[in-house]
Amino acid sequence: RHCSICFNTQNEEKRTLELGGHVGFDSLPDQLVSKSVTQGFCFNILCVGETGIGKSTLMNTLFNTTFETEEGNHYRNDVHIRARTYDLQESNVNLKLTIVDTVGFGDQINREESYKPIIDYIDTQFENYLQEELKIKRSLFNYLDTRIHICLYFITPNGHSLKSLDLITMKKLDSKVNIIPIIAKADTVSKSELHKFKIKIMSELVSNGVQIYQFPTEDEAVSEINASMNAHIPFAVVGSVEEVKVGNKFMRARLYPWGSVQVENENHCDFLKLREMLLRVNMEDLREQTHTRHYELYRRCKLEEMGFRDTDPDSQPFSLQEMYEAKRREFLGELQRKEEEMRQMFVNKVKETEAELKDKERELHERFEQLKRRHMEEKRSLEEKRRDLEEEMNAFNRRKVAAETLMGQALQGCSQQPFKKDKDKKK
């Protein structure tokens, strides 16, 4: 076998040389496959949708298994993020699957901040990966990557357009995660209405500037199928884990009194298209887009916030050591400034406290003087009353003595008159 190799130098034009024999670097793809299979893969799915719309059922249907789930209710006061990780194996390939559910999404009366817990969770996973990258001793080889690779946004089939909550949430998420909108429980809508609903959804997404994930068409091997599948977005899906007998076969379907809706029948719903695009054809592209687009955007903004940059204003290479020293000096200066502010604040607080204490002391002293004066006045008043009472008592005693004297004299006079009458009778 002969391989062609190209050389390009500054002084020579590109030349094509023919190798004389087999070298062996054509086995690189096989080596990468073997290494990747040994390491295993991770895939993280975020399911955003209202309670009871069929998120857990669709996940069970996608992976043909039954995951541990808890039925949600409509009485939560906030949106709770619940993430669960499972180890799956198909043939000799191991997949660490993480399913993230938004419990209570859309159940609140005030839905203004329903999207914030979702954004915070996505940013937290980016931050964890960035912190691992910035470590001196990194372990990205066996690091459990929890960054969200795909967001399946479940749209309720009732109504004629998207809800404002749907538009706001997808607009907030489109720069942080790959979004694929899907119409859940599509068997509740007629075929003609479903077609009009799809057109209406895509029209509203475009008019509001929402960037959803588009299947890549650069690779010739999948460009044709991806281009055709892009025209089917949003996928109208039906989920079911029940085995129903249709004809002579058992297949997953939903059984109704008038018939059955087969999950894996493309004439009934787009479940097969979603599974084909999501798992078989474009899973690696979703992982790559998450790393090269969404994570890199977060990383760049975060490092710029920290003051890092690639070049100085003169477009000269900037030393990382110099940048570190500059950031260290800036940090120490900021720390010293804050310390001085805290010291000055403490001094001001002490002065204010001393002034308040002096004011309190002056108020207490004035109050004491007032009480003292009041006490003296009351004491003088009591003394005057006591003297008046003593004078009244003395006057009373004098009147009493005079009255007793007069009474004694009167009694003595009365006793002498009968004695004189007895003497006159004897005569």
Q: What is the pLDDT of residues 152-199, one digit of tens each?
A: 999 998 877 888 889 999 999 999 999 999 999 888 888 888 899 999
Write out pLDDT tens, residues 15-70: 777 777 777 877 888 888 888 888 888 999 999 988 888 888 899 888 888 887 77
Q: What percentage of residues in the chain have a pLDDT greater than 70?
A: 89
pLDDT of residue 4: 47
**How far is residue 239's CA from residue 53's CA, in Å, rounded to a whole number?**
10
- 66 to 59, 94, 332: CA distances (angstroms): 8, 17, 55
- 47 to 92, 130, 177, 394: CA distances (angstroms): 27, 24, 12, 105
Q: Where are the beta strands (DSSP E) in 129-192?
A: 150-155, 179-183
**How far is residue 167's CA from residue 206's CA, in Å, rounded to a whole number?**
11
Residue 174: which CATH number?
3.40.50.300
- Tokens for 111, please give them: 């839905």
* 186 belongs to a structural domain: yes
Overall number of domains in the chain? 1
**How far is residue 420's CA from residue 348's CA, in Å, rounded to a whole number?**
107
* 228 belongs to a structural domain: yes
Q: pTM of the predicted model, to two decimals?
A: 0.70
Name which of 255, 212, 264, 215 is nearest 237 in CA terms.
264
* 207 belongs to a structural domain: yes
| CA angle 362–365–366, rounded 5-degree value | 85
- Look at residue 320 and tell me whether its pLDDT is greater than 70: no
Q: Cβ atoms within 10 A of the Cβ of 326, count?
A: 13
Q: For residue 59, what are the domain limits?
A: 37-306
* 144 belongs to a structural domain: yes
* 150 belongs to a structural domain: yes
DSSP for 191-260?
Answer: HHHHHHHHHHHHHHHHHTT---------STTTHHHHHHHHTTPSEE------EEEETTEEEEEEEETTEE
Say which residue, 20 or 384, is predicted with more confidence: 384
**How far is residue 33's CA from residue 334's CA, in Å, rounded to a whole number?**
51
* 3 belongs to a structural domain: no
**How far is residue 29's CA from residue 27's CA, in Å, rounded to a whole number?**
6
In this prediction, residue 418 has a pLDDT band, given cuts at 50, 70 and 90, of low
- Tokens for 398, please give them: 């004098």
* 22 belongs to a structural domain: no
